[in-house]
């Protein structure tokens, strides 16, 4: 299997892949049914499913062994399944199709998932596996935190919920990953362009468009605006790597301030957004006082030219707490020396950048003259109707 193009669907009739998507949704691979089968309280608990609950999920599915519970165990959790059972649930032709595309691999008696299929709204989205290394037959070792195709998480969920879903002609999704935001935007944009630096993501995004029967989009591999040089869009959307971290990575971290990629995106907005258009991006907000955020933003999207709104998550963390959490994630609980050193490096980096508080947020900006002063709203962005808040604020007074 190729690392960069793990799925092969070029020679398969596109309608056949769309039928597969319809069949999987019909069998119950939908948000409501998966949430219920796994016993989750909230829809956002799906994004991502947490590893610590995996044994509980397995138990719940085993308590109620239906064709759907076998499919969820196989295609959502990525656990190996018995070939005859999965074949019964999916049908021989569709299981063979999943195999020939590369979604799964089969031996004589077992099936092994190579990817996760997760429902989101009315879509079905393939990403790299949500749980790596749960199947010893799997070939997950070659995936790094950089090259794996972003698994749908809270940032994906917040970006999708925050999208202003007004009709427009053209939309650009920077760092499209699996294509989630592009697919949602394709419902209200005549044409969507998704760009990602990871070729593996482009391979999956194209497959996801086929699986959901969506045609008005293109996916291009490249660095931010480079593949769309000279083009303008009515909408620019991004859920970029923005976590304050020690590196600038493809998937999660955006340098010590977290802002490195976000700043590149914002710097390109004036050249790539049509007048009257909307740009939306998620970002981690690292600051000491609120005015730090407004001063920073004004460097890129000036108050004179843009009507801006930041919706900040009410779950704000002290920088020390954030550094602790990141260091713990990196070093784990067993190696106190590394944990302590990593914490100190994070903490010192955040201090040097003047960051004392960190939270996650959604920035929405409309390219219109004489924008209003910048309000920062604080809300529970997992629960509040953030798309409406953004749309109302950006609409002409």
Ligand X SMILES: C[S@@+](CC[C@H](N)C(=O)[O-])C[C@H]1O[C@@H](n2cnc3c(N)ncnc32)[C@H](O)[C@@H]1O
Binding site for ligand X (CB under 6 A): 150, 152, 155-156, 159, 175-178, 180-181, 195-198, 201, 223-224, 239-241, 250-251, 261
Q: How far is the CB of 276 from ligand X (least distance, A)?
A: 24
Q: How far is the CB of 171 from ligand X (least distance, A)?
A: 13
How far from chain centre, in Å, is Cα 218?
Answer: 18
Cα 151–155–159 angle (5° rounding)? Answer: 115
* Residues 6 or more apart whose Cβ sits within 8 Å of residue 376: 290, 293, 294, 310, 312
Closest to 113 (Cα-Cα) out of 177, 126, 68, 210? 126
Q: Which is nearer to ligand X, 223 or 380 (CB)?
A: 223
- Strand ranges (DSSP E) for 214-349? 217-221, 233-238, 273-287, 306-313, 317-318
Q: How far is the CB of 184 from ligand X (least distance, A)?
A: 10
Q: Which is nearer to ligand X, 64 or 144 (CB)?
A: 144
Q: Which is nearer to ligand X, 27 or 266 (CB)?
A: 266
| CA 132/CA 144 separation, integer angstroms | 11
Q: How far is the CB of 124 from ligand X (least distance, A)?
A: 14
Q: How far is the CB of 134 from ligand X (least distance, A)?
A: 21
- Asked whether the beta carbons of 80 and 106 are under 8 A apart, the reply is no
Residue 238 forms beta bridges with which residues? 174, 281
Q: How far is the CB of 108 from ligand X (least distance, A)?
A: 36
Phi, psi of 190, deg, nearest 5: -65, -40
Phi, psi of 131, deg, nearest 5: -115, 110
Q: Which is nearer to ligand X, 176 or 386 (CB)?
A: 176
Q: Which is nearer to ligand X, 81 or 179 (CB)?
A: 179
Q: Which is nearer to ligand X, 95 or 123 (CB)?
A: 123
């Amino acid at each position: 299997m190729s690392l960069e193009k793990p799925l092969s669907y070029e020679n398969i009739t596109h309608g056949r892949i769309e039928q597969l998507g319809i069949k999987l949704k019909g069998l119950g691979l939908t948000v409501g049914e998966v949430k219920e089968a796994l016993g989750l309280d909230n829809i956002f608990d799906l994004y991502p499913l947490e590893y610590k609950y995996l044994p509980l999920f397995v138990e719940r599915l085993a308590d109620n062994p239906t064709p759907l519970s076998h499919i969820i165990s196989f295609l959502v959790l990525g656990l190996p399944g018995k070939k005859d059972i999965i074949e019964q649930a999916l049908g021989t032709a569709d299981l063979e199709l999943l195999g020939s595309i590369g979604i799964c691999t089969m031996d004589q008696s077992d099936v092994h998932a190579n990817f996760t299929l997760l429902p989101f709204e009315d879509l079905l989205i393939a990403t790299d596996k949500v749980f790596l290394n749960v199947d010893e037959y799997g070939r997950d070792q070659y995936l790094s935190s950089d090259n794996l195709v972003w698994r749908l998480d809270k940032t994906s969920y917040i970006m999708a919920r925050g999208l202003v879903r007004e009709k427009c002609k053209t939309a650009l999704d920077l760092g499209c990953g699996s294509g989630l935001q592009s697919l949602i935007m394709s419902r209200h944009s005549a044409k969507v362009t998704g760009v990602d630096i990871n070729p593996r993501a482009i391979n999956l995004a194209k497959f996801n468009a086929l699986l959901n029967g969506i045609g008005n989009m293109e996916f291009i591999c490249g660095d931010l605006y480079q593949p769309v040089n000279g083009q303008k869009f009515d909408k620019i959307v991004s859920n970029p790597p923005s976590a304050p971290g020690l590196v600038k990575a493809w998937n999660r971290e955006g340098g010590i301030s977290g802002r490195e990629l976000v700043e590149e995106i914002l710097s390109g907005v004036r050249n790539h957004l049509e007048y009257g258009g909307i740009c939306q991006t998620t970002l981690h907000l690292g600051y000491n006082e609120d005015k730090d955020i407004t001063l920073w933003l004004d460097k890129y999207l000036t108050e004179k030219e843009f009507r801006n709104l930041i919706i900040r998550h009410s779950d704000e963390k002290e920088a020390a707490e954030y550094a602790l959490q990141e260091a713990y994630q990196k070093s784990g609980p067993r190696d106190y020396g590394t944990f302590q050193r990593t914490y100190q490096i994070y903490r010192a980096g955040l201090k040097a950048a003047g960051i004392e508080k960190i939270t996650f947020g959604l920035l929405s900006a409309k390219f219109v003259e004489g924008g209003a002063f910048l309000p920062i709203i604080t809300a529970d962005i997992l629960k509040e109707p953030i798309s409406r808040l953004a749309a109302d604020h950006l609409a002409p007074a």
